[in-house]
Amino acid sequence: MRNKTRTPGAGSAASDMLEMDARRTRERLKMMERTNPLRDRAHDGDNTPWADRLEELQNDMAKNEYLGGREVLVARLKTLSRAEEKVREGTYGACDSCGKPIPAGRLQAVPGAVHCVRCAEELERDRSTARQRPWALEYGLAVV
């Protein structure tokens, strides 16, 4: 693992950038909550059988979109929090999985990165497989 010493300005600049990104992410979560489709809505409008089904489908789509967006933002906050923790520990710039240095270009492009590209790709592949399994198991399909 790399030496824990960092240049003083680099940690401060990274910490400032991470905090600003976290603040923007929290603001986006608050904005999403104001338009939360999971809240009860008053039923109004057309009362034909098709209208009820269409309204139900629209509500389901809105809920899925909301929950998916919220999941992404919460995961982003967790990653940013971990990156801020690494700045405080003096290990910012080292991969959480393999301990190798994360290239400076990656840290500039993705300041909240806590994994090198290789480890991040492996983790994403594992997450993708885990997301596919429930559906595949439900229909008796093999996951490759």
- CATH, domain range 8-138: 1.20.120.910
| CA gap 28, 6 in Å, rounded | 32
Segment 39-64 shows an average pLDDT of 74
> How sure is the predictor about 113, in pLDDT bands with cuts at 50, 70 and 90?
very high
Q: What is the pLDDT of residue 91?
A: 94
The whole-number pLDDT of residue 3 equals 39
> Rounded CA gap, 89 and 2, in Å?
13
Task: Report the predicted TM-score, pTM, of the whole model to 2 decimal places.
Answer: 0.67
The whole-number pLDDT of residue 4 equals: 42
Q: What is the pLDDT of residue 41?
A: 59
What is the residue extent of each domain of the chain?
A: 8-138
The pLDDT value given to residue 28: 93
User: Given a cut of 50, is residue 5 above it in pLDDT?
Assistant: no
